[in-house]
Amino acid sequence: MFHSIIHRSSTIVLDDIKVRLIEARDAEQISVYYQRNRHFLAPWEPLRHEAFFSLAGWQQRLQQIATLHRHEMAFYFVIEHRTTGDIIGVINFSNLVKSPFYACHVGYSLDQEYQGQAVMRRALTAVCEWMFVDKCFHRIIAAYMPHNKKSGSVLAAVGFEKEGLAKDYLLINGQWQDHVLTSLINPNWSLPIS
């Protein structure tokens, strides 16, 4: 679907947004993103230490993320508004496991001001395709709280299918929360050539 857009690059341009791997130069922008959306995202995320919202905290964290990128242990994408250059969302792939699983987990968040504009649906579709085509993953796993209808709708629109309900799955905002388990399967997967 996105083969012509990707060109084996980790930067994907989609109309009014650009999705790319986060870099050290993004420390200020990403800290501003999380500061701006702190209260909006709180019901959907783990409790965060103050360092998570600070520039210094992100400068340190981005060094760790760069190492994870280098070793292909995780991929941390930012969604950037093409006109303003502002970071307006994030998509993270973690727990990357190759043979025989070829699967990973995905998580994401979007700026409060960009809700309802299909930004996350478009960005998530593109980066999932990148994970399938460029990184040869077979399954991408996502989970959402049953009352988070927006997230459930995004995942369904991208093609994720419900697989079950996990009780007390994640510690979110200080409380254990049930999560609907979903996955997206790569229909064109083939064994990667080493």
CATH classification at residue 11: 3.40.630.30
Number of domains in the chain: 1
Dist CA 171 CA 176 (whole Å)? 4
Average pLDDT, stretch 135-156?
97
Alpha-carbon Rg of the chain, whole angstroms?
16
Domain assignment present for 148: no
Q: What is the pLDDT of residues 33-45, one digit of tens each?
A: 999 999 999 999 9
Report CA torsion sign: 73, 53, 119, 46: positive
Domain assignment present for 146: no
Domain assignment present for 79: yes
Q: CA angle, 123 as apex, 90 and 29 as ends, to 5°?
A: 30
130: containing domain: 3-140
Q: What is the pLDDT of residues 160-170, one digit of tens each?
A: 999 999 999 99
Dist CA 143 CA 130 (whole Å)? 20
pTM above 0.75, yes or no: yes
Average pLDDT, stretch 30-58?
97
